[in-house]
């Protein structure tokens, strides 16, 4: 690719993204991801860390919905606080072909801007799809993120900027291109190991990424100019492991998407690091098949792949670190019959059961990655019986798709923590009705009720 040709191709396809023209299966996936993100935000908003952050910021009233408080706030405050909640429960979406969480971070951007600028729901969803498609192509072209960098606030940030520029400019190619190139020149890099260490400053990663992306889009529409070639010359080589610029425009034909990468998104069905989901699924299967309870356990062997063990937390200090711990997630699932958020809160009482669990790297499982997230769980019971399960492709991933029922159930369960049972149904149903050229006022009302 010559200087900026990929950025311009991405911008042209993004500019031509219109909700009415998007295939039906893409629309369905987009709305499911939108509802999923709102659930993740609503579920995380009740966490003490987010309540503390919100009370510190003291966001003034404004046009953009602050989901944690069911009210409107200044756009940047609502964006920052809504985006920060996306990592609290570790239930945010994922993308199959590159590590990252594009949809959960895009939803706060397009929601805040749509409300502030009184755009339609069709405008909002067009921008979301455009931003997702831009982001994921950059993620794939990077060929992976360097092992010291976190995927939050990484390549998805350029998609945030593209989505924001799409909304603010009503889909102007030159503005979207300037936002893509500008975001590439303002690359963010975050420490990968904060989460496993339980450092809750991690929740500012998506907050900083989204607010910076909106600033870049505003700069683009105001006429601020980026340095040509920043995406191909600077961002790709420095933020990727095996950057291949030819992949940036893959799946674009005649200035339109010939393939929608959003269909390769996935839904996290466990409140844990995605690398542990094979292990978590295997534990679920063993509990369901054998009725195993805590008193049955003599010892548990957990075998998984290398990258999962690199960030595994053997002695988690809080519930964030516990979500990256094989010991904690397995112990919580055994004790409570399934892995849920509440089960990870009382780590002190879980310790005796955690002491019976031994996680380890099995090199033979590495061949299944990166597509798979394998886990083999072997339980030795007090009666001398040994039972084992292995999972290569966990539920919710592109290889073992979450069912429509699983997607809906996850969204409603998380939404209910903030909106209650009836309110969660109202929010969910309102999301499913989005996509017209009308105002998003019904969604705003549902989110603030």
In this prediction, residue 3 carries a pLDDT of: 56
Contacts 24+ apart (CB under 8 A), 17-22: 17/126, 17/127, 17/129, 17/130, 17/133, 17/166, 17/171, 17/257, 18/122, 18/126, 18/171, 19/122, 19/123, 19/125, 19/126, 19/129, 19/435, 20/122, 22/125, 22/126, 22/129, 22/260
Q: What is the DSSP letter of 60?
A: P
How far is the C-alpha of 270 from the C-alpha of 265, rounded, in Å? Answer: 16
Question: Measuring CA to CA, which residue among 436, 449, 400, 435 is closest to residue 35?
Answer: 435
How far is the C-alpha of 369 from the C-alpha of 372, rounded, in Å? Answer: 5
With left for phi above 0 and alpha for psi between -120 and 50, is residue 279 left, alpha or beta?
alpha
What is the three-class DSSP state of 365?
helix
Q: What is the pLDDT of residues 293-317, one digit of tens each?
A: 999 999 999 999 999 999 999 999 9
Percent of residues, the chain, with pLDDT higher than 70 = 99
Given a contact cutoff of 8 angstroms between Cβ atoms, the answer to whether 319 and 195 are in contact is no
Number of residues assigned to the chain: 449
pLDDT of 1 over the 70 cut: no
**DSSP per residue over 400-439, as a string?**
SPPPHHHHHHHHHHHHHHHHHHHHHHHHHHHHHT--SSSB
In this prediction, residue 4 carries a pLDDT of: 75
How far is the C-alpha of 124 from the C-alpha of 17, rounded, in Å? Answer: 11
- Tally of CB atoms within 10 A around 254: 8
Helix residue ranges per DSSP H, 102-257: 102-117, 121-142, 156-169, 173-185, 204-222, 236-239
Find the helix or strand (DSSP H, E) in which 84 lies: helix 75-84
Is 274-391 in the same CATH topology as 5-269+401-448? no
Q: Model's pTM, two decimal places? A: 0.96
How far is the C-alpha of 193 from the C-alpha of 117, rounded, in Å? Answer: 37
Q: What is the pLDDT of residues 110-123, one digit of tens each?
A: 999 999 999 999 99
Adjacent-strand bridge partners of 265: 95
Question: Measuring CA to CA, which residue among 23, 252, 10, 215 is closest to residue 130?
Answer: 10
- Sorted by where each begins, the domain ranges of the chain are 5-269+401-448, 274-391
The token pair that represents 46 in the structure block: 């009740």
CATH class of domain segment(s) 274-391: alpha beta
In this prediction, residue 151 carries a pLDDT of: 87
CA 190: distance to chain centroid? 16
The token pair that represents 60 in the structure block: 């003034």
Region 22-45: mean pLDDT is 98
pLDDT of 228 over the 50 cut: yes
Find the helix or strand (DSSP H, E) in which 265 lies: strand 265-266
**DSSP per residue over 292-319, as a string?**
--GGGEEEEEEEE-HHHHHT--SS-SSH
Name the fold adopted by 5-269+401-448. Answer: 2-methylcitrate dehydratase PrpD (1.10.4100)
The token pair that represents 255 in the structure block: 């200035």
Q: What is the pLDDT of residues 398-434, one digit of tens each?
A: 899 999 999 999 999 999 999 999 999 999 999 999 9
| Cα dihedral 147/150/151/156 (nearest 10) | -130
């Amino acid at each position: 690719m010559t200087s900026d040709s990929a950025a311009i191709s991405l911008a042209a396809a993004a500019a031509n993204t219109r909700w009415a023209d998007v295939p039906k299966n893409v629309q369905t996936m987009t709305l499911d991801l939108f509802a999923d993100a709102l659930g993740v935000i609503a579920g995380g908003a009740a966490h003490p860390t987010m309540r503390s952050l919100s009370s510190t910021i003291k966001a003034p009233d404004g046009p953009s919905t602050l989901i944690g408080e069911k009210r409107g706030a200044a756009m940047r405050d609502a964006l920052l606080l809504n985006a920060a909640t996306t990592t609290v429960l570790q239930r945010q979406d994922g993308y199959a072909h590159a590590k990252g969480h594009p949809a959960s971070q895009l939803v706060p951007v397009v929601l805040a801007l749509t409300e502030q600028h009184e755009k339609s729901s069709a405008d909002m969803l067009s921008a979301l799809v455009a931003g997702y498609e831009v982001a994921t192509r950059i993620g794939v072209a990077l060929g992976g993120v360097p092992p010291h960098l976190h995927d939050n606030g990484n390549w998805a940030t350029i998609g945030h900027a593209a989505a924001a520029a799409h909304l603010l400019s009503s889909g102007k190619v030159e503005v979207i291109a300037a936002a893509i190139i500008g975001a590439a020149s303002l690359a963010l890099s975050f420490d990968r190991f904060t989460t496993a260490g339980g450092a809750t400053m991690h929740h500012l990663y998506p907050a900083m990424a989204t607010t910076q992306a909106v600033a870049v889009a505003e700069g683009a529409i105001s006429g601020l100019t980026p340095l040509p070639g920043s995406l191909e010359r600077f961002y790709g080589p420095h933020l990727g492991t095996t950057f291949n610029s030819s992949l940036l425009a893959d799946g674009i034909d005649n200035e339109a998407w010939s393939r929608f990468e959003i269909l390769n998104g996935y839904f996290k069905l466990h409140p844990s690091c995605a690398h542990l989901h094979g292990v978590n699924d295997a534990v679920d299967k063993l509990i369901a098949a054998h009725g195993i309870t805590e008193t049955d356990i003599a010892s548990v062997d957990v075998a998984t792949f290398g990258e999962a063990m690199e960030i595994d937390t053997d002695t988690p200090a809080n519930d964030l670190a516990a979500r990256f711990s094989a010991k904690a997630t397995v112990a919580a699932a055994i004790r409570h019959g399934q892995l849920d958020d509440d089960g990870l809160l009382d780590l002190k009482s879980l310790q005796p059961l955690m002491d019976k669990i031994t996680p380890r790297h099995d090199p033979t499982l590495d061949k299944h990655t990166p597509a798979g997230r394998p886990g083999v769980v072997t339980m030795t019971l007090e009666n001398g019986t040994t039972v084992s399960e292995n999972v290569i492709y966990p539920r919710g991933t592109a290889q073992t798709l979450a069912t429509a029922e699983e997607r809906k159930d996850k969204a409603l369960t998380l939404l209910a923590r903030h909106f209650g049972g009836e309110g969660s149904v109202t929010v969910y149903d309102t999301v499913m009705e989005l996509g017209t050229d009308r105002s998003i006022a019904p969604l705003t009302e549902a989110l603030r009720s």
